[in-house]
Chain A
Amino acid sequence: MKRRPGISGLHSAAAARDQYRSVGENVARIRTDLLKDQLATFRTQLEEFARKHKHDIKKNPAFRAQFHEMCSKVGVDPLASNKGFWAELLGIGDFYYEIGVQIVEICLATRSHNGGLIDLNELCSMLSKKRRTSREPITTDDCLKAIDKLKVLGSGFEVFTVGKKKLVRSVPTELNKDHNQILELAEVRGFVLVEDVERALSWHPGRVIDALETLMKEGLVMIDDGHPDRKRRYWFPCVSLSSSNAEEL
């Protein structure tokens, strides 16, 4: 803007500066909005990209690293908290880590009661009680995912199916076929009698007792001689129905 001489020239200069300033501010505002829009678009594109290449991101560490770098440049943190898009996508995230730690805690705390085997549903319900104050409800699926992550860490956790139930094993004890069969029988009432097993599986009593004694030594079975019918019952804490255990933690 050309300078005009005299006082009116000064006024003009001031006015011009003001105008420039407000234009400047506008420009800045426009630029920020533009940036925001651009970022939003970028984010969406990044998400699209992640969706398309989910497999590669999961399987290929080098690719994954580059992807992470892209994310951090734009201020997106795939490792951040909530169960949601990113955690789901990449299979990692604090949500499952947190659950994993809590699962380990629960398994350790209940180990002396159930010998290191716990029903998945019971585990899930105890987990929910533990996280009472937190945002989302936990599904058995979440538990399974978290346990999967635990496996990656080499912690010896295993989920296996016996009859109608899924059990989570947190000790190295592996059950053989005989044990599994008895366990399946026990699911019905939480306990078995030797005669039940004999009848159901057509086993010799010796074989039944052997299996039960091994299970007892592993801490998976407790005896009960108190029933009025005076027959010994063998209880399996891991398939029992009480989930008030949570209070004890």
Chain B
Amino acid sequence: MGDFKFPYFFDYPPYFTLQPVQDTREKQMQLWKELILRYCQHHKCFIINLEQEFPLFQNLSIQRKLSFEAREMFLAALVAEGKAEWLDKAHKKCLVLWRSIQEWSEMILQLVRDNAMEDGVLTLDEIQSGDESRGTELAGIDRFVLVRALKLLEQRGKAAMFKGKAGDDEGVKFSAS
């Protein structure tokens, strides 16, 4: 995976304070939005919970952390852009879509093609952590996101999800040929 490379502004204290001047604030937001996406992608992180500590929002080496207000503002900006979604009405849990659901569904199709499973069946577990997805970006995908992506494929007639027998995992039958 490699070490995550933090951008220059992460070590510059003022960026951890919401800037009052409009232009400066916009620049600040832009930088943080990009950083959040990149960080989440690198660490395969899908959910940010505002009521919990999230390592990205503080820099111990300069003794700074983002205020709740700032964190909420940056995430809200991502939501406005369609790069994230609130999972609750209270806006405390945020789903970060560093890949769109559409993109995830395309990746699943690619996985299916790569493994000649156009008419095959996979359990959701297998997609998340099976042999087929090992080494691909799909490995470790969040279950919720996976289901959303599969639903998209269902709409396109490329897949059909089904529940396993009691105790079995959910599965999906592909018709992707």
Contact = CB atoms under 8 A, between A and B. Distances in A.
Interface in B64-117: 64-65
A135 interface: no
A86 B53 CA distance: 62
A52 interface: no
B139 to A, nearest CB: 29
Contact of B63 (A219, A226, A242): A226
A90 to B, nearest CB: 39
Interface stretch (A146-154, A166-174, A227-235): A227-235
Nearest to B19: A222
B7 to A, nearest CB: 7
B12 A223 contact: no
Contacts of A235: 12-14
B24 interface: yes
Contacts of B14: 222-224, 233, 235
A247 B63 contact: no
A224 B70 CA distance: 13
Interface centre among B19, B23, B24 (most CB of A within 10 A): B24
Interface in B7-24: 7-9, 11-17, 19-21, 23-24
A235 B19 CA distance: 12
**Size category, A interface:** 20 to 34
A242 B13 CA distance: 12
A243 B60 CA distance: 21
Interface of A: 112-113, 191, 216-217, 219, 222-228, 233, 235, 237, 240, 242, 244-245, 247-248
Contacts of B11: 242
Given A225-B17, A226-B16, A248 B8 contact: yes
B27 interface: yes
A244 B8 contact: yes
Contacts of B12: 235, 237, 240, 242
Contact of A227 (B9, B19, B27, B63): B63
Tell me which of A223, A235, A237, A245 has the highest count of chain B C-beta atoms within 10 A of its own C-beta: A223
Chain B contact residues (Cβ within 8 angstroms of A): what range?
A: 10 to 19
A225 B24 CA distance: 15
Considering residues B16, B19, B63, which has the most beta carbons from chain A within 10 angstroms of its beta carbon?
Answer: B19
B8 A224 contact: no
Given A227-B13, A240-B12, A222 B24 contact: yes
A216 B24 CA distance: 9
A227 B13 CA distance: 9
Contacts of A217: 21
The 7 closest A-B pairs by CB, nearest first: A222-B14, A226-B64, A224-B14, A112-B27, A224-B13, A235-B14, A225-B17
A25 to B, nearest CB: 66
16 contacts: A112-B27, A113-B9, A191-B13, A217-B21, A219-B24, A222-B17, A222-B19, A223-B20, A225-B17, A226-B65, A227-B63, A233-B14, A235-B14, A245-B8, A247-B8, A248-B7
Contacts of B63: 226-228
A248 B7 CA distance: 8
Nearest to B13: A224
Nearest to A225: B17
Contacts of A233: 13-14
A223 B14 CA distance: 6
Contacts of B21: 216-217, 219
A24 to B, nearest CB: 70
Contacts of A237: 12
A49 to B, nearest CB: 50
Contacts of B13: 191, 224, 226-227, 233, 235
Contacts of A247: 7-8
Nearest to B65: A226
A221 to B, nearest CB: 9
Nearest to B7: A248
